[in-house]
Amino acid sequence: MLAMLDDVMWTYQSVVYSVGINGILALSMYVVLAIGQLSLGQAAFMGIGAYTGALLTLKLGLPFPIVLAGSALVPAAVALLIGGPTLRLTGVYLAIATIGLGEVFRILFVNWDYAGGALGLSAIPERGSALLIYGLLIVFLVGFLALGRSRIGRAMEAMREDEVAAGVMGVNLPVYRMAALVTSAMLAGIAGALSAHVSSFIGPNDYGFDAAVTILSYALLGGIGSPLGPVLGSTVLTLLPEVLRPLADFRLLINGMIIVLAVLFMPRGVLPWRMARTG
| 33-46 confidence digits (pLDDT tens) | 888 888 888 999 99
pLDDT at 48 over 80: yes
* Nearest in space to 202 (alpha carbons), one of 23, 45, 50, 14: 50
The neighbour count for residue 225, using CB atoms within 10 Å, is 17
pLDDT of residue 140: 95
Give the DSSP letter of residue 118. G
Q: Is residue 65 part of a domain?
A: yes
Per-residue buried b or exposed e for 148-167, using 16+ beta carbons within 10 Å of the residue's own CB:
bbeeebbbbbbbeeebeebe
Share of the chain above pLDDT 90, in %: 33
Is 194:132 a contact under the CB 8 Å cutoff?
yes
Instruction: State how many domains the chain has.
Output: 1
Strand-pairing partners, residue 122, are 201
Residue whose C-alpha is closest to residue 233's, from 207, 206, 271, 190: 271
* CB contact at 8 A, 125 and 133: no
State which of 53-67, 207-221, 258-272 shows the largest mean pLDDT: 53-67
- Cα separations in angstroms, 49 against 55, 61, 75, 174, 257: 10, 16, 6, 25, 31
Answer positive or negative: Cα dihedral of 158, 26, 75, 44: negative
**Does the pLDDT of residue 228 top 80, yes or no?**
yes
User: Coil, strand, or helix at residue 201?
Assistant: strand
**Mean pLDDT lowest among 13-27, 169-183, 188-202, 251-265:** 251-265
Domain of 163? 21-207
Position 174 scores a pLDDT of 86
Q: Does some domain include residue 145?
A: yes
Q: Please list, in sequence order, all residues whose beta carbon lies within 8 angstroms of the beta carbon of residue 243, skipping any fewer than 6 positions away.
A: none
Domain membership of residue 255 (yes or no) is no
- Is position 201 within any domain? yes
Per-residue confidence at 254, pLDDT binned at 50, 70, 90?
Answer: low
* Residue 202 falls inside a structural domain: yes
Mean pLDDT over all residues of the chain? 83
Using alpha carbons only, give the angle 224, 164, 275 rounded to the nearest 5 degrees. 25
Q: Is the pLDDT of residue 273 over 90?
A: no
Give tens-digit pLDDT for 96-116: 888 888 888 888 888 888 888
Asked if residue 240 belongs to a domain, the reply is no
| Cross-strand partners of 202 | 121
139 pLDDT higher than 70: yes
Contact 35, 161 (CB under 8 A): no
200: exposed, middle or buried (C-beta count within 10 Å: 0-12, 13-18, 19+)?
A: middle
On whether residue 254 sits in a domain, the answer given is: no
51-83 confidence digits (pLDDT tens): 999 999 998 989 999 999 999 999 999 999 888
Distance CA 245, CA 200 (A): 24
Report yes or no on 104 lying in a domain: yes
Q: Are 106 and 204 in contact (CB under 8 A)?
A: yes
- Rounded Cα distance between 131 and 188, Å, is 19
pLDDT at 276 over 60: no
Per-residue model confidence (pLDDT) at position 269 = 65
